[in-house]
């Protein structure tokens, strides 16, 4: 019990330091970079909250769309149907959309870190769990957990669903998976991942026996599809297109397309971009980060696949590849936060390799600082 209290205090201290550090960085960002918002509603919506710019800038980019959905719903504004409903619904329940939303995400980040800690301890030592949490909090795009984005709530649901599945609480695992699939499209991948987890726990028996013995549990896991199906039904009823969230994607100007693009084609596109674009430009930095972080995460998942629990691996690979089939790696530095086994791999690596730990964490913190400043000042990061 004493050890649990010590661990909890340590985790809370890290989260407070992370949150305050990012707030301080955002308050000072204007000294290093000119404010130049490159997203809609930056002035008319965010200014209306009568808050300091460094504070309301935590709702930059996608954040303004979630605020608009929370205020007005999905009607009257085009393209916002690409954003799933759970997070705006949570915002709508708060007395203050922006301030309340940032407080909510800080609380949710605390929950996901605590749940992640418990999930890691099922297979690894406490020290590995500690370093895994540090790897997550200091990741180059971890600031999105504290922004008005879905990362905090979605990762909380993912971690919670897997922890409940490991504890064989399949009803609640399925319910959280269902909420996750109404939060982000990739939440639907918890469905096959939980099925793999169920099979992994009962893998001594053959397939026919597995289906006979676990039919009810399979049904509970299938609750994971209800969130997405419910949103699709709403879009069909209101807009006449159950896949409207997909069809509006290419209108956002991030280079996405509806036709399937294979991953090697995407890599070739990025090779050409980096070869021809101006290197001394923030956009070049963004392209390079998208490519190299994507390759680093994917390479780690594939090279060390034997060290990753099968259900975690299935979820992470599906979540990784889905955005890439639209023909771009745009937003991938943020999307790879969802590939949580990466942080467990890093935690194990950091524990054993002090020199590499210092080097990689220095690089990671440097990128986190740069990315936070860019985001707060209105420049595209992910």
* The token pair that represents 214 in the structure block: 């676990």
Task: Answer whether residue 246 is part of any domain.
Answer: no
In this prediction, residues 232-236 reach a mean pLDDT of: 97
The CA distances from residue 24 to 18, 27, 135, 163, 338, in Å, are: 10, 5, 20, 34, 26
Q: Is residue 122 part of a domain?
A: yes
pLDDT for 254 equals 59
Within-domain flag for 249: no
**Under 8 Å between Cβ of 173 and 194:** yes
Tokens of 367: 């990128």
Token output for 116: 């992640």
What is the mean pLDDT of the segment spanning 89-108?
Answer: 96
Name which of 48-57, 248-257, 365-374 the model is least confident about: 248-257
Q: Which of 15-24, 175-184, 236-245, 342-351 has the lowest mean pLDDT?
A: 236-245
What 171-179 contacts at long range (C-beta under 8 Å, 24+ apart), as own/partner pairs, is 171/220, 171/223, 173/220, 173/221, 174/220, 174/221, 174/222, 174/223, 174/224, 175/223, 177/221, 177/223, 177/224, 177/227, 178/223, 178/224, 178/225, 178/226, 178/227, 179/86, 179/227
Task: Give yes or no for residue 259 having a pLDDT over 80.
Answer: no
Q: What is the average pLDDT across 114-122? A: 98
With residues binned 3-state (H G I as helix, E B as strand, rest as coil), the percentages for the chain, rounded to 5, are 75, 0, 25
pLDDT category of residue 149 using cuts at 50, 70 and 90: very high
Q: What is the pLDDT of residue 5?
A: 82
Residue at 199 is within a domain:
yes
pLDDT of residue 6: 85
pLDDT score for 34:
93
Q: Are 101 and 94 in contact (CB under 8 A)?
A: yes
Q: Is residue 248 one of the residues assigned to a domain?
A: no
Predicted local confidence at residue 250, as pLDDT: 67
The average pLDDT across 97-102 equals 96
Chain centroid to Cα 93, Å, comes to 22
DSSP strands (E only) in 74-173? none
**pLDDT per position as a tens digit, 276-306:** 888 878 889 999 999 999 999 999 999 999 9
Higher-confidence residue: 47 or 249?
Answer: 47
pLDDT of amino acid 279: 82
Q: Which of 207-221, 249-263, 269-283, 353-367 has the highest mean pLDDT?
A: 353-367
Res 255 pLDDT > 70: no
Number of domains in the chain: 1
Q: What is the DSSP string of 58-94?
A: GG-THHHHHHHHHHH-SSSSSSGGGS-SHHHHHHHTS
- Residue 204 confidence (pLDDT): 73
86 falls in which pLDDT band (50, 70, 90)?
Answer: very high
Predicted confidence (pLDDT) per residue in 178-199, tens digit: 999 999 999 999 999 999 999 9
Instruction: Please report, rounded to a whole number, the percentage of residues in the chain having pLDDT higher than 70.
Output: 97
Report the C-alpha gap between 180 and 223 in whole angstroms.
11
Residue 159 pLDDT: 98
pLDDT at residue 331 is higher than 90? yes
Write down the pLDDT at residue 253: 55
247, part of any domain:
no
Lowest mean pLDDT among 168-177, 303-312, 324-333: 324-333
How confident is the model at residue 206, as a pLDDT?
A: 81
Q: Is it the case that residue 91 has pLDDT exceeding 80?
A: yes
The answer as to whether 61 is a domain residue is yes
For residue 367, name the pLDDT band (cuts at 50, 70, 90). Answer: very high
Could you tell me the pTM of the whole model? 0.94
Q: Which domain holds residue 175?
A: 2-241+254-376
In a domain, 273, yes or no: yes
Q: What average pLDDT does the segment 340-355 reach?
A: 97
Segment 240-244 shows an average pLDDT of 92
Calculate the average pLDDT of the chain.
Answer: 93
The pLDDT of residue 326 is above 60: yes
- HEC-encoded secondary structure of 257-319: CCCCCCHHHHHHHHHHHHHHCCCCCHHHHHHHHHHHHHHHHHHHHHHCHHHCCHHHHHHHHHH
């Amino acid at each position: 019990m004493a050890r649990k209290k010590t661990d909890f205090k340590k985790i809370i201290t890290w989260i407070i330091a992370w949150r305050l550090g990012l707030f301080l960085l955002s308050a000072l960002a204007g000294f290093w970079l000119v404010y130049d918002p490159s997203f809609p509603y930056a002035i008319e919506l965010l200014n209306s909250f009568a808050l300091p710019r460094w504070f309301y800038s935590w709702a930059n980019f996608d954040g303004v769309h979630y605020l608009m959905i929370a205020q007005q719903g999905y009607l009257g504004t085009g393209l916002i149907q690409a954003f799933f409903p759970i997070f705006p619904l949570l915002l709508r329940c708060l007395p203050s959309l922006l301030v309340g939303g940032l407080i909510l995400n800080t609380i949710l980040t605390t929950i996901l870190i605590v749940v992640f800690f418990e999930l890691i301890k099922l297979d690894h030592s406490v020290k590995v769990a500690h370093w895994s949490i540090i790897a997550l909090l200091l990741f180059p795009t971890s600031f999105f957990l504290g922004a008005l984005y879905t990362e905090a709530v979605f990762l909380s649901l993912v971690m919670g669903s897997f922890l409940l599945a490991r504890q064989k609480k399949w009803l609640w695992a399925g319910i959280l998976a269902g909420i996750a699939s109404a939060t982000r499209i990739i939440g639907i991948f918890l469905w096959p991942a939980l099925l793999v987890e169920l099979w992994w726990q009962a893998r001594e028996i053959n397939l026919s026996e597995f289906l006979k013995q676990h039919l009810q549990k399979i049904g509970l896991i299938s609750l994971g599809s209800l969130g997405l199906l419910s949103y699709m039904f709403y879009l069909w009823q209101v807009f006449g297109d159950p896949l409207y969230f997909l069809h509006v994607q290419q209108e956002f100007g991030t280079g996405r397309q509806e036709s399937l693009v294979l991953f090697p084609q995407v890599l070739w596109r990025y090779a050409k971009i980096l070869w021809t674009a101006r290197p001394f430009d923030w956009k070049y930095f963004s392209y390079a980060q998208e490519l190299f972080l994507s390759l680093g995460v994917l390479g780690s998942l594939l090279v060390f696949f034997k060290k990753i629990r099968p259900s975690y691996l299935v979820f992470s690979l599906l979540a990784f590849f889905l955005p890439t089939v639209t023909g771009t790696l745009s937003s991938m530095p943020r999307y790879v936060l969802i590939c949580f086994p990466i942080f467990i791999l890093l935690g194990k690596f950091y524990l054993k390799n002090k020199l590499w730990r210092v080097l990689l964490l220095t690089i990671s913190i440097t990128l986190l600082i740069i990315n936070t400043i860019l985001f707060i000042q209105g420049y595209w990061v992910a």
